[in-house]
Structures are given as structure tokens and as C-alpha cells.
């Protein structure tokens, strides 16, 4: 498998994983009872709204990841965004299990939480090497990457 194909596979795996995490948050928002909970708000952000934002962000990032298979200039921002999404979502969950997040504490482990955690871990594992590889490639020859990106975009 060539590097380009390997990158494409990792981008697609990452996109699916991010979408799965987003779906769990979407489901919990509309069907899990999380739509109306707001024990605390910081700058208008509540635990309820953070679930909605997670679902929307997942779709945007997944779109970027899929498009990155065609437009190479998107590889770094999309892969980095996907990896950060995974890390941030796992971090938010761990906060809710320990010190609390936006006044919300969770002490039970549900099947949805496990699905989301696995998906987020897959996203981080798939997309971090892609993002790191893109950074290394850009630092070693930024003009090549730019040229490659524009060639890909025009093709």
C-alpha cells in the first residue's frame, strides 16, 4: 500500500470514527434526555449544548476528512481537527466522571459511553499519525506539499 493510499484509509477510518462519536452525542441529545440539562453555564455553554455542538462538529470534521482524500491541503487541518476532537471529547468525558464538567457529573458507564470512547480512541489513533506525517512533510518541503495540493485540487 502506498503512503497516499494509507493516508486515505486512515482519513476515512478517522471520519467514520468521528461520525460515530457525533452520532452518540446526537442520540443522547435527542433521545437520551441530555437536551434539557444545564446545571451550570459558562459563556452560554451548557452540558446540553456541548452535546449538540459535538454532533455538529463531528459532521464538519468528517466532511473535511473525506475531502482531504481529494484535496491534500486539507489533510493537516482535517486530521489535526479530528484528533483534537477525539482528545477533547475523551477529556470532557473523563472530567464528567471525575471533577465534573459544567456542573455535570456521571458515575455510571453506559453502552453509549463505551461506543463513543472506542470511536474517539480510533479517531485519535488513526488521525494523529496522519497529522504528524503532514507536519513533517510540510516542514521538510512545504513547496512540494503546496504543489501537490494544488495539483490534486485541480485534478
Partner 1 sequence: MDTTERSRRLPTIVLALIVPVVAIIVAIVTLNVTSESSTGATSTGVRGASGTTITIKNFQFAPATLKVAAGSTLKVVNADNTVHTVTSTATATKGGFDTGHLDGGATSTITIGAPGRYTYFCDIHNYMTGVIEAS
Q: At what angle do helices 47-68 and 75-97 cross, to 10 degrees?
A: 150
- For the chain, count helices (H), then strands (E): 5, 0
Q: Which is nearer to partner 1, 44 or 155 (CB)?
A: 155
Task: Provide the binding-site residues for partner 1, judged by CB under 8 A.
Answer: 15, 19, 22-23, 26-28, 30-37, 39, 59, 62-63, 66-67, 69-70, 103-108, 110, 112, 155
Cα gap 104→84, rounded to integer Å: 22
Q: Which is nearer to partner 1, 66 or 123 (CB)?
A: 66
Q: Minimal distance in Å, beta carbon 105 to partner 1?
A: 6
Q: Which is nearer to partner 1, 53 or 135 (CB)?
A: 53
Q: Minimal distance in Å, beta carbon 70 to partner 1?
A: 6
Q: Minimal distance in Å, beta carbon 4 to partner 1?
A: 10
- Let me know the angle formed at the C-alpha of 122 by 107 and 104, rounded to the nearest 5 degrees: 25
Whose CA is closest to 79, among 113, 136, 128?
128
Amino acid at each position: 500500500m502506498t503512503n497516499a493510499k494509507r493516508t486515505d484509509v486512515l482519513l476515512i477510518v478517522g471520519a467514520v470514527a468521528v461520525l460515530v462519536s457525533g452520532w452518540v452525542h446526537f442520540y443522547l441529545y435527542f433521545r437520551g434526555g441530555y437536551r434539557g440539562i444545564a446545571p451550570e453555564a459558562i459563556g452560554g455553554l451548557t452540558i446540553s449544548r456541548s452535546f449538540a455542538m459535538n454532533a455538529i462538529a463531528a459532521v464538519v470534521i468528517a466532511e473535511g476528512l473525506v475531502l482531504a482524500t481529494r484535496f491534500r491541503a486539507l489533510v493537516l487541518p482535517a486530521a489535526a481537527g479530528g484528533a483534537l476532537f477525539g482528545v477533547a471529547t475523551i477529556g470532557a468525558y473523563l472530567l464528567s466522571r471525575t471533577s465534573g464538567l459544567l456542573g455535570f457529573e456521571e458515575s455510571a458507564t453506559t453502552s453509549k459511553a463505551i461506543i463513543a470512547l472506542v470511536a474517539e480512541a480510533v479517531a485519535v489513533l488513526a488521525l494523529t499519525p496522519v497529522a504528524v506525517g503532514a507536519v513533517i512533510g510540510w516542514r521538510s518541503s512545504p513547496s512540494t506539499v503546496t504543489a501537490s495540493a494544488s495539483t490534486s485540487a485541480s485534478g
